[in-house]
Amino acid sequence: MDLTYTDEEREFRARLRDWLGKTLPELPAKPSPDDWPGRRAYDAGWQRRLYDAGYAGLHWPVDAGGRGATPTQHLIFLEETERAGAPYVGANFVGLLHAGPTIAAEGTAAQRARWLPPVLRGDEVWCQGFSEPEAGSDLAALRTRAVRDGDDYVITGSKIWTSHAEVADWCELLVRTEPVSEAVPKHRGISWLAMPMDAPGVTVRPLRTLAGSAEFAQVFLDEVRVPVANRVGEENDGWRVTMVTLSFERGTAFVGEVVACRRTLGGLARAAKANGRWDDPVLRRRLGRLYGEFGALWRLTQWNVSEAQASGGVPGVGGSVFKLAYSHARQELYDAAAQVLGADSLALDGEWMLDRLSSLSYTIAAGTSQIQRNIVAERILGLPKGR
């Protein structure tokens, strides 16, 4: 156990902090949440600045266009950008955190050269076409069908909960290339494709979340032609390729947010002092407990990262333990916020209620808590699978 930083890491942190101090004041004003083209342009502009300064794809391997930084340097990057109040990845989330790492790990040299540089520069936005109306937690039950026709797949079906679909250039799409049969279990006949969102036959219908905004969409696919060359990994091997993506998602995607939650907690303490509720010992202790819990969650991210560093970079099932604890703690944080603010939390002109509403998705998205508990129980604890 060693929680100190090397000289090299400290220097990296200092240079980054310096760059953030100079760069953040130059950023344009944030667009409104409903202005999707504006949000895309804003997120692309931030990514371009990161790219030009050498911070894009920091922890990606060098042969994928990344900087080959250690997981610890990546952690420092996430910690410092969050601390400085830098923009989130936003519309670039899928490209930088799901599709990109998958292509880097599983794609051919030509596929990496085609798709990774535009992601790193912020030029191309990706969305994720995994879930379907009839395939949520049981993702392998997906039905969207891809039939080979010459050098193309012809795809018909629909995808749901697709974030950023309206502004995306590409979709990482899971399709069924082999029908389920007695010889082919459901997770065998799946392939992973890169689908251009402007292909004929793609229709995007925005879905309104309970927060009132259109954060995701249903995507209808009607005989969409996608070149076979856009398949990453072997035909029918898409389930394994996807698991690489999902483990990335659970392993590191929430690191910056833990730091953000600690900052949010500081804001809550200030609000409670200002409105006098800090004097309520029950509320004060509730906030104290959350401060301790988020401190531990920050250490748990460090632990996961140091394990990943030791095992060659692919985050493991420990991500499920983290996601279970974090998603619950985040909801608890915003419940506590409502207790601090009382009736004031009901007004939508502040950020609190929107954040509280969005926190409700955390125990559902990227694998529900129930699915995470199955993973922990079966893969870590070794309990038997049910019949």
Partner 1 sequence: MRAVDFRLTQEQGDLRAGVRDLLAGRYGREALRASVEAGGALDRGLWRELGAAGFFALRLPEAAGGVGLGMPEAVLVFEEAGRALLPGPLVATHLAAGVVAGAAEGAAVVTAFDLGGALVTHLGEADAVLGAPSLPAGEPVPSADPLTPLHRVASPPAAAQAAAYRDEGALLTAALQVGSALRTVELAVRHGGEREQFGQPIGAFQAVKHLCAQMLVRAEVARTALYAAAVTADAGEAAGAKLLADEAAVRNARDCLQVHGGMGFTWEADVHLHLKRAWVRAEQWRRAEEAQELLAAELASAAT
The β-bridge relationship of strands 170-176 and 126-129 is: parallel
Q: Which residues bind partner 1 (CB under 8 A)?
A: 1-6, 9, 70, 72, 75, 265-267, 269-270, 273, 278, 281, 284-289, 291-293, 295-297, 299-300, 302-303, 305-307, 309-310, 321, 324-325, 370, 372-374, 376-378, 380-387
CB of 47 or CB of 359, closer to partner 1: 359
Taken in order 229, 235, 241, 242, the sign of the CA dihedral is positive
CB of 58 or CB of 241, closer to partner 1: 58
Please report how close the Cβ of residue 379 comes to partner 1 at its closest, in angstroms: 10
CA 156 to chain centre: 26
Beta bridge partners of 132: 135
Report d(CA 18, CA 14) in Å as an integer: 6
Report d(CA 238, CA 99) in Å as an integer: 13
Helix or strand holding residue 287 (H, E): helix 281-311
Tokens 């944030």 -> residue: 30
* Contact present, 57 and 66 (Cβ < 8 Å): yes
CB of 72 or CB of 131, closer to partner 1: 72
Taken in order 213, 216, 221, 225, the sign of the CA dihedral is positive
**Side-chain-facing half-sphere of 160: CA atoms under 13 Å:** 12
CB of 224 or CB of 297, closer to partner 1: 297
Out of 79, 82, 106, 249, pick the active-site residue: 249
Please report how close the Cβ of residue 226 comes to partner 1 at its closest, in angstroms: 37
CB of 170 or CB of 326, closer to partner 1: 326
Q: At 238, list the tokens.
A: 């898409």
Please report how close the Cβ of residue 384 comes to partner 1 at its closest, in angstroms: 4
Please report how close the Cβ of residue 214 comes to partner 1 at its closest, in angstroms: 33
CB of 173 or CB of 272, closer to partner 1: 272
Please report how close the Cβ of residue 295 comes to partner 1 at its closest, in angstroms: 5
Report d(CA 286, CA 333) in Å as an integer: 9
Please report how close the Cβ of residue 35 comes to partner 1 at its closest, in angstroms: 32
| Cα angle, residue 230 at apex, residues 127 and 233 outer, rounded to 5° | 95
Report d(CA 387, CA 385) in Å as an integer: 7
Please, which residues have CB within 8 angstroms of residue 199's CB and are 6 or more apart in sequence?
224, 225, 226
Is 26 among the residues known to form the active site? no
* Contact present, 116 and 64 (Cβ < 8 Å): yes
Question: Which residues participate in catalysis according to the annotation?
Answer: 249
